Amino acid sequence: MDLYAIYLVSDSVGETADVVIRSALYQFETENYQLKKYSYVQTTEEIEEICAKAADDRKAMIFYTFVKKEMADYMKERIEQAKLIGVDIYSPILTGLGQLFQLPAKEKPGMNRQLNEDYFNRVEAIEFSVKYDDGRDPRGIEKADIVLVGVSRTSKTPLSIYLANKNVKVANIPLFPESKPPKEIFTIAPERIIGLVNSPKKLNEVRKERLKTLGLPPSASYAGMERILEELEYADKIMKQIGCEIVDVSNKAIEETADHILHYMDVMNISRKQL
């Protein structure tokens, strides 16, 4: 028994046509068909070849998704000339949305796939920043796009997550006199390290608030000015030893600091790694 030939033709991966047609096929109690998928169709010559193959199949139908109008029009013309059955999935949708928004479509194949890749890259960056937060695993230093260093309450963690939402893989390392920083921060390129500093007064305020949320007295040494100055002096020594970029976060919102770092990455031509 001859199978019905269902052609799925696209100028990109063809996910849209595949999902739509497979969903529609569930409405029919038959398996008497064969899907023939043609992805990344970019030329009229390829359309000619596909239509010729479909014409040779006695029971064929073509579903196509072209974002470029000229390609969709050419496919429609060839289908009519070959007396085939064809359905343009994309064009009516693009035309309708264009009328609604009063804007032309970009006509760039693969935009949906690109958006999906951006989404998964962002998720990966967030997972990375959580995994290598607060110096949990120094191995993340060599894998990160950017490494943040600084004393406690200089916004290292929230800044890491914010940058991760911009697809930047961030590791952050706390600096305090009682612990030597990981050796990796002295072996990677210094331009990939950002030192975060805060004013003693601001640190005193935020640390007192932190102690309050933990149910501890604000008089604890953690929030004391003597301790804060000791930590800042130690962190300054380490940052100068590294030779890294230093950002004062005392009067900056997270967004401002993140914008500064992103601009710095562009200026220094720091690329975002793929794990």
Known binding-site residue numbers for ADP: 150-157
168 touches 142 (CB < 8 A): no
For 208, residues 6+ apart whose C-beta sits below 8 A from its C-beta are 218, 223
Collapsing DSSP states into helix, strand and coil, what is residue 124? helix
Return the axis-axis angle of helices 225-242 and 200-213, rounded to nearest 10°.
120
Dihedral sign from CA coordinates of 125, 268, 136, 273: positive
Euclidean distance between CA atoms 123 and 137, whole angstroms: 19
- Which residue blocks in 84-139 are alpha helix, DSSP H? 91-101, 111-131
Q: Are the beta carbons of 64 and 17 closer than 8 angstroms?
A: yes
Residue numbers belonging to the annotated binding site: 150-157
What backbone torsions phi and psi does residue 103 show, to the nearest 5 degrees? -135, 150
**Is-contact 102 96, C-beta < 8 A?**
no
